[in-house]
Chains A and B, each alone.
Chain A
Amino acid sequence: MAVFVQDTFSGESENVDLTAHTGEVGASWTVIFGYPSCRLSAASGTVYSSGTPGNGAYASGVPASSEYDVEADVSDPASTGIAGRTSTTATTFYHARNNGTEWQLYKFVSGTATLLGSYADSYSGTKRLKLQIRDAAKKVFVDGVERISSGDNSITDAGRAGIRLILNNTVPRIDNFLATDLSGGGSQVGSDFAVVYDIRAQIYSDFAAAYDIRQTVSSDFQTVYDIFTSVSSDFEARFNILASISSDFACVYDIRQEASGDFEVVFDMHQLASSDFVTLYDMGGRVDSDFEVVFDIKTQTVRVRRSGLRLSLGLGL
């Protein structure tokens, strides 16, 4: 992931217009077509409304493609949000916000508003709001939890990342703005890639491992989870495989004690696996809650046991 906009909205005098401010990365701001601008609070280093409802601005940073994430801290009072695929010539964008009673996902096309989804939650304090923009789905996350997912893709231009404040309220409400695209993320791993988790003491909370693989895996890829004791809460391993795997891919889960929460492994495979793909779950203990393994294979596998997918379950109950 590469950051193409970052702004903490700090270092300015009180009540400076956002368009006169420059943030850390790709963050010179322009008002969204037809909207008034926003202002900055010097005391808190945040953005607030300028006195007229419906403020909005987009940042100068250009994403590498039309698929990217936009996120920011948003604080009550509500009706504050973030935008993506924001047009520089029209009032067109996707928009995530909370209106005081619910999180909402909107699309605005040439100023015409359509509500695409909502999740009831009258929050207080500060929340981390993320709008994940992919062609296949627009997702709203609140504090890392997915709340709304829409397949709408009627706005296709990459546009820009932006912010929007609906109510006229001078209370600071947006901070730590960040936009990341799918470029970068390191280069190819040319040799074997092995990860071993040799965990001999209890894990008292959630265990999560995420592998976001965006380049070709041309040699062996192996992960081993050798967990000798219990996991007291959820266990999650996620493999977001966006590139092809041309060699062997192996995952071994050797869990000798109980997992007290949910056990979830997700393989989100967008590309070809042209060699062996093996996962082994050797569980000596028990899972007290849900056990879920998801293989979301979005493209062809060269050979799946020649004639089909074989699933073997050996449950020592």
Chain B
Amino acid sequence: MSKRYYLCDILGDGTEENPFRPAVADHGVNWSGEVSTGDDGRPNKNFALAVVATNNHGKLLSDSRIDPLPEFPLDGKISAMHTAAKNGLTTAMQKRGIPTDLLSTSDGYREAIRGIGRYLNPNFHENNFDVSE
């Protein structure tokens, strides 16, 4: 089982039967999601950051509502990523309207994930964002 970060659409209407949730939630995987909401409890962004633990990331990769972030060590340097993975990260962020300047101000993948999380929640910290394998 491995963990991977994703950006994904938010599904649901906020009822108990159909709660707001990241799209990864509908794939039967273990996950934790960062969903930014307003004072009324409704999402104020149209996407969520999710960390997923599963043996099969393939079913997520084939869902157009879900954009995978690079499968790369959290403590690795972005400059050490393959170009395709780096471009994928940039594209996924741009698709969701996340400023990509944080990729140029820091070289760490951890800082990139933290920056994405803090775009949704100013108090986000990757160490408090996890799910059991």
Contact = CB atoms under 8 A, between A and B. Distances in A.
Contact of B124 (A116, A119, A120, A151): A151
Interface string B34-48: 110101111100000
B117 interface: yes
A146 B132 CA distance: 7
Given A113-B16, A115-B21, A115-B25, A151 B132 contact: no
A293 interface: no
A126 interface: no
A113 B14 contact: yes
A114 B129 contact: no
Contacts of A112: 14, 20, 37, 40-42
A108 interface: yes
Contact of A119 (B16, B42, B132): B132
Given A117-B33, A119-B132, A146-B132, A151 B41 contact: no
Contacts of B130: 146, 148-149
Nearest to A147: B132
A114 B21 contact: yes
Given A113-B14, A119-B132, A120-B29, A151 B34 contact: yes
B17 to A, nearest CB: 9
A114 B125 contact: no
A106 interface: yes
A109 interface: yes
Nearest to B18: A113
B21 A120 contact: no
B94 interface: no
Classify the secondary structure of A's interface with B. Answer: strand
A154 interface: yes
Contacts, number: 102
Most buried by B among A120, A135, A147: A120
B62 interface: no
Classify the secondary structure of B's interface with A. Answer: loop
A184 interface: no
Interface of A: 54, 92, 105-120, 135-137, 145-154, 166, 296
Given A116-B35, A117-B32, A153-B123, 9 more contacts: A112-B40, A112-B41, A114-B35, A117-B33, A119-B132, A147-B132, A149-B128, A150-B32, A152-B121
Interface of B: 12, 14-16, 19-21, 25, 28-35, 37, 39-43, 117, 121, 123-125, 127-132
Pairs A-B, 6 closest by C-beta atoms: A109-B41, A112-B41, A137-B128, A117-B32, A113-B19, A112-B14
21 contacts: A54-B16, A106-B19, A109-B37, A109-B40, A112-B42, A113-B19, A115-B20, A116-B35, A118-B25, A118-B31, A137-B128, A147-B132, A148-B130, A150-B34, A150-B128, A151-B34, A151-B123, A152-B121, A154-B37, A154-B41, A166-B16
